[in-house]
Amino acid sequence: MKTVESMMEAANAAVPRVTPADAQAMIAKGGTLVVDVRDAAEVANTGKVAGAVHVSRGMLEFRADPDSPYHDKNFDRAKTVLVYCASGGRSALAGHVLKEMGYGRVFNLGAFKDWAEGGGAVDK
């Protein structure tokens, strides 16, 4: 039986956590998709990482699958993907799902507030 704890352990083992500085370097290099998996109300309250695509956690699989009628063309398996949320939990789980869906380079940026407090660019 899976528990949240066991799912988090598997996700954290599969999806490396990166610092805001590492993420900024990846973004600067190009070929990187930044995904905000928080709920719409959270994004409305705080803004999001500049240039990030907002896809609530519940729609991620549908947006990431090119065969889905809900596919978001920003999702491309050739890109590096950075996922974040409010604390790093949902983004770890989201990153794990993306890895299972064939996305090879997936990283957990963790908490939005760490990005914002670290001077990362924010779209309000």
Question: Residue 85 falls within a domain, yes or no?
Answer: no
Range of the domain at 24: 4-79+90-123
pLDDT band of residue 7 (cuts 50, 70, 90) is very high
Summarised one tens digit per residue, pLDDT across range 49-98 is 999 999 999 999 999 999 999 999 999 999 999 999 999 999 999 999 99
Return the CATH number at 71: 3.40.250.10
Q: Are strands 48-49 and 122-123 parallel, antiparallel or unpaired?
A: antiparallel
Summarised one tens digit per residue, pLDDT across range 36-53 is 999 999 999 999 999 999
Residues with Cβ within 8 Å of residue 58, at least 6 apart in sequence: none
Task: Report the distance separating Cα 10 and Cα 53, nearest Å.
Answer: 25
Write down the pTM of the prediction.
Answer: 0.95
* Residue of 31, 37, 46 whose CA lies nearest to 15: 37
